[in-house]
């Protein structure tokens, strides 16, 4: 069993608890948007019966290797999971100039490129619960001897995510309405779920650095909108954010959609969601 990214790996590891441990492809500070496969990743894929990945809009690097897998391997594309809440990409820059309490996602793709889905689906806990059901079913089919265990583990995790969701909702209540900016647009699902007031992103995509003009516009908007925090990601360390916050009231703090700081495993998803919540609450209330 192989999972592409840490949060997905965490859910798979949780369902497999007591039976086995899945392999993880994107480790440490690698970004799924621009990952370079290592020989050990290729070997893990070749040996796998089941491969879980989010899908092409996220792990583009996996498209080709997955097509070259042996016939016995089953590839499960999580973004195709029925019942998921799916959102279109918002594009970069400030996406919500005038604030409304109803933080509704808006299509901001003004170029000729067709709208694509925001692939960071796991940051909505309800989506994570849908993923768990698929993971438990796929594992049960691949390994029927342990089906009862997979299903029981999956159900236990669903309940644990219910508790997590309630806790995060309560903790984040006090920072609703305080404006912030994210590094790249990875947190849309989280923001919507907990009605947070993200007003823009520094990068339109993690591979593309903002130009001087965008930086200038962002600085003006940070002041205008009273942005309290700029949230950086550990995968994309950048001096740019210091420049952006200078001369404004905004502070820089770190949140991480992958949870790279945590030991891969069943608890990693929960630790990541808790740590991001702590960072957001601390920075916005300081």
Which of 261, 259, 251 is CA-nearest to residue 285? 251
Whichever of 77 and 137 has its CB closer to Zn ion, that residue is 77
Span near Zn ion by CB under 5 A; candidates 93-101, 151-159, 168-176, 186-194: 186-194
Residue from the set 186, 218, 273, 284 that interacts with Zn ion by CB under 5 A: 186
Look-up: residue for tokens 């700029």?
A: 230
The tokens describing 274, both together, are 């808790």
Please report, as residue ranges, which positions from 152 to 171 form the binding site for Zn ion (by CB under 5 A): none
Whichever of 85 and 166 has its CB closer to Zn ion, that residue is 85
Span near Zn ion by CB under 5 A; candidates 59-67, 155-163, 180-188, 213-221: 180-188
The tokens describing 14, both together, are 């949780």
Whichever of 26 and 50 has its CB closer to Zn ion, that residue is 26
Residue whose CB is nearest to Zn ion in the complex, by number: 186
The three-point CA angle 74-78-79 to 5° equals: 135
Contact track, Zn ion, 221-250, x by CB under 5 A: ------------------------------
List alpha helices for the chain, DSSP H: 6-15, 39-47, 63-67, 125-142, 147-172, 188-193, 212-224, 240-245, 268-285
The tokens describing 12, both together, are 């798979």
260 binds Zn ion (CB under 5 A): no
How many angstroms separate the CA atoms of 278 and 173, rounded? 12
Signed CA dihedral, 97, 103, 106, 109: sign only: positive
Minimal distance, residue 147 CB to Zn ion, in Å:
33
Minimal distance, residue 258 CB to Zn ion, in Å:
8
Residues recorded for the chain: 286
Span near Zn ion by CB under 5 A; candidates 107-115, 183-191, 197-205, 220-228: 183-191
* Residue 44 neighbours by CB distance under 10 Å: 18
Span near Zn ion by CB under 5 A; candidates 132-140, 172-180, 182-190, 233-241: 182-190
Minimal distance, residue 197 CB to Zn ion, in Å:
20
* Residues engaged in binding Zn ion (CB under 5 A): 186
């Amino acid at each position: 069993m192989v999972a592409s990214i840490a949060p997905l790996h965490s859910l798979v590891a949780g369902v497999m608890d007591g039976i086995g441990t899945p392999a993880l492809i994107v480790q440490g500070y690698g970004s799924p948007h621009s990952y370079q496969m290592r020989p050990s990743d290729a070997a893990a894929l070749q040996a796998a019966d089941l491969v879980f990945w989010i899908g092409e809009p996220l792990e583009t690097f996996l498209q080709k290797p997955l097509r070259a897998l042996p016939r016995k391997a089953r590839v499960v594309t999580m973004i195709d999971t029925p019942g998921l809440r799916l959102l279109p990409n918002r594009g970069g820059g400030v996406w919500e100039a005038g604030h409304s309490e109803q933080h509704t996602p808006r299509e901001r793709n003004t170029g000729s490129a067709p709208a694509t889905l925001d692939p960071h689906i796991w940051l909505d806990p309800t989506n994570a619960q849908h993923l768990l059901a698929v993971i438990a079913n796929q594992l049960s089919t691949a390994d029927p001897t342990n089906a009862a265990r997979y299903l029981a583990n999956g159900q236990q995790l669903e309940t644990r995510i219910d508790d997590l969701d309630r806790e995060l909702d309560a903790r984040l209540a006090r920072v609703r309405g305080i404006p912030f900016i994210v590094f790249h647009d990875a947190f849309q699902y989280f923001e919507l779920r907990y009605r947070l007031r993200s007003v823009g992103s520094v990068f339109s995509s993690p591979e593309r650095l903002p130009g001087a003009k965008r930086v200038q516009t962002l600085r003006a908007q940070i002041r205008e909108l009273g942005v309290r925090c700029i949230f950086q990601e550990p995968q994309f360390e950048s001096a740019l954010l210091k420049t952006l916050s200078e001369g404004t009231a905004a502070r820089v703090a770190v949140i991480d959609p992958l949870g790279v700081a945590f030991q891969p495993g069943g608890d990693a998803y929960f630790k990541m969601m808790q740590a991001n919540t702590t960072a957001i609450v601390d920075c916005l209330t300081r």
